[in-house]
Amino acid sequence: MAKKANKVNIALIDKVKDELSNLISGTKDKLKDCCYIDLRLGVGEGQRAMAQDGMRKFSLRDYRFSYGLRVIAGRDITAAGYFGQTLGSADADNLAGVIEGGLRQAYERAIANSRMKSERKNRWEILGQSLRSTELAPMEICQHTVPGVYRINPVDVSLEEVSKLTQEVSKAVASYDPRVKVNQIMVETSLIRELVVSSEGASLDRTYALTQGLCVVVAIGNSGAQQTHYDVIGHQRGWEILIDGIDEELIKSKPLMHFALDLAADNVSLSETRPCPSSDKEVAVVTDPHYNTLLVHEIIGHPTELDRALKLETAYAGRSWFLRSLKETMLGKQVASPLVSAYSDPLLPGYGHYEYDDEGTPAKRVTHIDKGVFRGFMNSRQTAATLGVSPNGHFKAIDASLVPLIRMSTTVFGQGKHDPQKMIKEVDHGYYLVGHRIPSISESRENFRITARKVFEIKNGQLGEMFRDGGIMANTKDYLMSIDAVGNDLRIYPVFNCGKGQPMQAKKLGNGGPTLRGYARLVGGTK
């Protein structure tokens, strides 16, 4: 179907880029005691559809359009004020005028915040000393336009095609086996363009495609055991990934149809298995790259976000056991087996890919663990200034109207040298966990329990019985120190719903790792 011209499309940014850059720099110069302004503008064109049990349930082609502002201002002590707004077609012809209104509001908030901060700095006696001006660490100021990468432009696909694929996959899953009782297939494909401009002269204009297929399957076995599992295929690519699958060095996926049927097959098999047993003591556990995607997300990615470490997330997502105070940290200390490395790299492909973050900082690979030694955090300009380090480009928001947070880009366990098959063969008795399911992590990420899709017993180096409803529980450091083999099979998977922030921002990002072998307690269900 031919694309119908819409007032809100990604080409809009071409029309307003220079005007908005001038507005931001000009406003900063005009406003009294204003130190800094940045603006993020986002435009997206996309479509999504949902089918359940072979029936179409929803389809929509729409746009998204929003902006967000940060103003840092103040006389004695500086403070920040923010303003965010979602926009519509009616704003397209008067964008600068709308944003001017937001600038006034963000500035007034910054000035009021600065004044009240200054009052408390004096009033709170010794406890007022830690109140400081809001400072951003210096960074390279860049101007760059980054084009999107796709073979089939998401905007060129008809909504009917999106809806049809969704229904066909759902129908196929529904008819796969009578034990499949419910399935839901959700597809989205879109083209997004984001602009970051600042009063320092940064101007980053990035376009990217985003395509995703999410499958949920409920199966009930002959004994009545119910299994619900979901999985997602996704990439910063076009519609082609759902039709052809993905075959890249680090990211591989079958086309959506086969991907969904594999999930259905797993669910049906699992619904006929016994519940996973629990162990009183630690046992050998081999975990596959899909399981380690969630593991690295929870036990490495989150605690290496510097906003958590600096306590900004104490009330929400939690702190980090890697940093207690600026003088008490794990930097330079052994926190894992020497076989373990872990890092975040925005330049890797997949959901976590970008060249510049939402402050315009050039994205850099951050080593978190090198040969078992803790090395560093993902940061923003403000948290980098607090720690006295350089910004590394991990400040991201899911929508321009929301304030960015420090987020994972693509956080992975590094590649090892072991053959994954041998890692299993070397185990006399243990368990092989395949696929991640649901996590629960303690507040500073010092302990975790994460369930797997499938758990196999390993006996004399061979895979034995498969169990449902099981996972492992361990203290993070104890587990990381116990790792005695790291596979040579690094894979990256999409994580589509990482929640953080107030309001909650459910972000798409990348995680992954190779097969790992360590020791942890096996935990099954209560029934």
Partner 1 sequence: MKELRELEKSVERAVAFLKSQPEIKSAQVFASANNRLWTRLNYTSHIPCNGVEEVKSTVDYGIGIQIVLDGPDGSRIGFGSEERDLSLEGVKLALEKAKQGAIVDPEFRSLPQATGEKRSLFDYHDPMVMGITDEGLVGGGWKILDGALWSFLGSEKLRNMAPGGALHDLGLIVGGDLSILQERMAISSYDMPAVQSDESAAILAHVTSMVEKGDAKGSGYSVHLKLSDLDDAAGSEAAGNAINSLGGIRVPSGDYPVILGPQPIGELLSHLVIPSCTTGSFYSRQSCFLGKLGSQVASDGLTIVDKGNAPGLIGSKGITCEGLATGETTLIKEGVLSGLLSDWYEYQRILHDPNAKEKLGVNPGDVQQALVPRNGFRFARGGGRNFGTQPHAAATNVVFESASSTAFEALLKQIKRGILVGRLWYTYPIHGLRAGDFTSTLTADSYFIEDGEIKAPVKVNTLRINDNIANILMGIRGMTGEARPTILWAGDQIVYAPLGLMVDKVHFEAIAEFMDAAY
Give the other-Cβ count within 10 Å of 32's Cβ. 8
303-327 burial, b for 16+ CB within 10 Å, e for fewer? bbbbbbbbebbeeebbbbbbbeeee
Nearer to partner 1, 313 or 345 (CB): 313
Strand order in the sheet with 366-370: 373-374, 366-370, 342-344, 410-413, 505-513, 491-500
**Ramachandran quadrant class, 269 (left: phi over 0; alpha: psi -120 to 50; beta: rest):** alpha
Nearer to partner 1, 276 or 286 (CB): 276
- Cα gap 312→187, rounded to integer Å: 35
Nearer to partner 1, 403 or 412 (CB): 403
- Cα gap 33→26, rounded to integer Å: 14
For residue 510, report the phi and psi dihedrals to the nearest 5 degrees. Answer: -115, 145
- Cα gap 300→377, rounded to integer Å: 10
Instruction: State the residue for tokens 């061979």.
Output: 462
CB of 363 to partner 1, least distance (A): 23
Taking every pair of C-alpha atoms in the chain, what is the biggest distance, in angstroms?
A: 75
Question: Which residues on adjacent β-strands are paired with residue 257?
Answer: none
- Cα gap 304→378, rounded to integer Å: 6
CB of 142 to partner 1, least distance (A): 25
Tokens of 256: 């959506």
CB of 243 to partner 1, least distance (A): 21
Nearer to partner 1, 411 or 444 (CB): 444
Nearer to partner 1, 142 or 182 (CB): 182
Reported residue count of the chain is 527
CB of 466 to partner 1, least distance (A): 15
Asked if 10 and 92 touch (Cβ cutoff 8 Å), the reply is no
For residue 43, report the phi and psi dihedrals to the nearest 5 degrees. Answer: -130, 130
Nearer to partner 1, 21 or 447 (CB): 447
CB of 355 to partner 1, least distance (A): 26
Nearer to partner 1, 220 or 339 (CB): 220
472 three-state secondary structure: strand
Instruction: State the residue for tokens 């009330």.
Output: 315
Nearer to partner 1, 56 or 258 (CB): 56
CB of 384 to partner 1, least distance (A): 12
Nearer to partner 1, 229 or 517 (CB): 229
Nearer to partner 1, 390 or 415 (CB): 390
- Cα gap 284→15, rounded to integer Å: 59
CB of 200 to partner 1, least distance (A): 20
CB of 509 to partner 1, least distance (A): 18
CB of 323 to partner 1, least distance (A): 9
The H-assigned helical ranges of 297-427 are 306-309, 381-387, 420-425
CB of 426 to partner 1, least distance (A): 26
